[in-house]
Amino acid sequence: MSRAGEGLVALVTGASRGIGAAIAQRLGAEGAAVVCVARTADLHPRLPGSLRDTVYAIQAGGGRAVPVAVDLSDPPARAGAVLEAEAAFGPIDILVNDAAAAFYMPFERFSERRFAVAFEVNVRAPFDLAQRVLPGMRARRRGWILNVSSATAKLPSGPPFDPFDARGGALLYGMTKAALDRMSAGLAAEVYADGIAVNSLSPVAVVRTPGVEALGMLPEGRPDLVEPVEVFVEAAIALCTGDPKVLTGRVAYSRPLLAELGRTPRTLDGRRPYVERAS
């Protein structure tokens, strides 16, 4: 395998499970030293996965990783997480903002507290972490920032409106991800001359992860609406290690990006091509 992350230090939020854990594992397999950040250091009462599990998977594959348990809605804790990460491995070369607060409910039911938490975790935390790692990236004239977004950021088309939008539920989450997309594109322009890539990446369908399966969120009988995590991770790795002069400023979607780049998904250990399950 290519070991595209050799010699790099990555900080990945939301790394206790799901997409964040999978990206962290693949970055470790690519040779990066990975700082895994999330709230769940050990087992969650309802969901599979923890920072301990992610770090163990990376180390079992021969990689280097450390856990940093932090509540990303707490600004002082975010500052401490970056300091702890740099103390472990040195300045951050790759920042992956995956952690998110996702509340799905009709518009009238959103409380002031949920609104504040959604924007603090989904927008302010990625903004803050990027500000904290950018000076080191600029000094070294290299860096990659990837913001994990969502198709809910797209404007609903209509009338008539799609049933998903008409039922409601994703409005607040989509608002925060739209802000994240705009931040990604705008920051990419500001740091382009410094050799730093900034992108946002969304899946084209529900990503199959243990957490999604445990919550029963996979659409039954619709394999076309399910995306293997390996597909998304391959696109993420391309944006986290590609040429910053070419792959930057993208509000990208996983499968179309891989098709554009002619890139085939690989397993999370990076050792072989990933073969999608038959539907």
Are 85 and 35 in contact by the 8 Å Cβ rule? The answer is yes
Query: Which of the residues 50, 73, 150, 173 is marked catalytic?
Result: 173
Are 86 and 139 in contact by the 8 Å Cβ rule? The answer is no
Cα–Cα distance measured from residue 108 to residue 125, given in angstroms and rounded to the nearest whole number: 26
Query: Which of the residues 73, 177, 202, 254 is marked catalytic?
Result: 177
Query: Which of the residues 16, 73, 149, 150 is marked catalytic?
Result: 149
| Catalytic residue list contains 200 | no
Q: What is the dihedral of CA 30, 275, 220, 200, to 10 degrees?
A: 30
What's the distance, CA 112 to chain centroid? 26
| Catalytic residue list contains 184 | no
- Return phi, psi of residue 51, to 5°: -60, -40
Phi-psi category of 195—alpha, beta or left, where left has phi over 0 and alpha has psi -120 to 50? left
- Token output for 158: 């209509």
| Catalytic residue list contains 154 | no
210 cis-preceded (ω within 30 degrees of 0): no
What number of other Cβ atoms are within 10 A of residue 246's Cβ? 8
Active site residues: 149, 173, 177
